[in-house]
Structure 1
Amino acid sequence: AYRGMVWHVAVERLEKTTPDEALIANGLLQAATVLRALTSLKAAGPWLLGEQLTLADLHAAPIIGYFVKVADGQNLLAEFPDIRDWFARIALRESFA
């Protein structure tokens, strides 16, 4: 998940003069799989595992944070409203900024 979302999508777009579009496309496929899995695993409540913020949230948040630094990531995340809304909540936390 990390390599595909961060290195193959975000870093490739942000740091390469000529990004490798095939690498990005593959990273987006991997990211879609991860976002589908997170959606299916997310418990009811504001956080990934329900009512309490857990290590799962703190582990996933920076990965999604890098991913959405680029339009590709923002556009794909928009297709997963539960995860998009979760990320919006965690991004508002003072400790995340």
Structure 2
Amino acid sequence: MGMKIYGIPKSCATACIMTCLGEKVIEEYELVHVDLSKGEHKSATHLAKNPFGKVPVLEDGPLTLFESRAITGYLCRKYKSGTDLLRNDSVEEAAMVGVWLEVESQQFNAAIYPIMFEKLMKPFLGQTPDQSVIDEFLLKLGSVLDIYEARLSNSKYLACDSFTLADLHHLPYIHYFIKRTPYGDLITSRAHVKAWWEDISARPSFVKVAQQMDARPILN
């Protein structure tokens, strides 16, 4: 049985998996479209794969995984080809990848997700964005990015001087944040953050995925 990814390129989490596969030079997999607009992620079939009713899901032989960071970690450990996104040859660098993956999840994502939900998802769902929520989390995101600016003034990438999984997991959200909200200056006004973003977003693995992210309506 070949590897299958259940999701859509529009999903930031699915886009991370696809970018990771590109970095690992893995082309033999099937992307199984899950139409969120029709509620396919809440179907009994999908809930059997992910009881939380979300995408992506990875099936690799008898193994079924959900949660994007768990999936990318698995792919990086299984496949030695392509980019060493976990820096396995250095205990210290591998530890720093772990640190900045936690930062991405607990600090960056926690700040940017509510903004994206209010600005992009609520209008799609026919709801009115709450500007007070947006303003609150813009302040939080700015504080996170100030720390990134300081870090990136001393390191080319977040974990070390090589591109890693910690950088990769920022790509889809920042892509949408800059292209689809009026708040992109939070990224571009910080010189080191801007340079980092321009570097990582130009990687061929993500350029290919970004084209697919931009080609479809938001939920399918």
> How would you bin the TM-score normalised by the shorter chain?
0.7 to 0.9
Aligned to 1:93: 203
**Within 2, Cα distance between the matches of 1:2 and 1:20?**
19
Question: By how many angstroms is 1:31 displaced?
Answer: 0.6
Equivalent pairs, count = 94
Aligned to 1:10: 116
Answer 1 or 2: higher relative contact order, Cα 8 Å, separation at least 6.
1
> Are 1:79 and 2:189 counterparts?
yes
Task: Report the AA paired with residue 176 of structure 2.
Answer: Y
Task: Report the AA paired with residue 70 of structure 1.
Answer: T
**Is the partner of 2:203 in helix, strand or coil?**
coil
Between Structure 1 and Structure 2, the one with more strand by share is: 2
Task: Report the AA paired with residue 5 of structure 1.
Answer: I
Aligned to 1:63: 173
TM-score, structure 1 length as denominator?
0.80
Question: By how many angstroms is 1:4 displaced?
Answer: 2.0
Question: By how many angstroms is 1:90 displaced?
Answer: 0.9
Identity of aligned residues (%): 30
Gaps of 5+ in 1: none
**Is the partner of 2:170 in helix, strand or coil?**
helix
**Within 2, Cα distance between the matches of 1:57 and 1:32?**
18
Question: By how many angstroms is 1:51 displaced?
Answer: 3.2
- Kindly provide the CA deviation profile for residues 42-83 of structure 1, in whole angstroms up to 9, marking residues without a partner as x: 2343x33453112221133333233323112x1211221211
Kindly indicate whether the alpha-carbon contact (under 8 Å) linking 1:5 and 1:27 is maintained by their aligned counterparts in 2.
yes
Between Structure 1 and Structure 2, the one with more helix by share is: 1
Question: By how many angstroms is 1:40 displaced?
Answer: 1.3
Kindly indicate whether the alpha-carbon contact (under 8 Å) linking 1:4 and 1:26 is maintained by their aligned counterparts in 2.
no
Aligned to 1:40: 150
- Kindly provide the CA deviation profile for residues 10-67 of structure 1, in whole angstroms up to 9, marking residues without a partner as x: 221112232100010011011101101111122343x334531122211333332333
Give the CA RMSD over aligned residues. Answer: 1.9
**Within 2, Cα distance between the matches of 1:31 and 1:79?**
13
Rg larger in structure: 2
Aligned to 2:73: none
**Within 2, Cα distance between the matches of 1:32 and 1:19?**
20
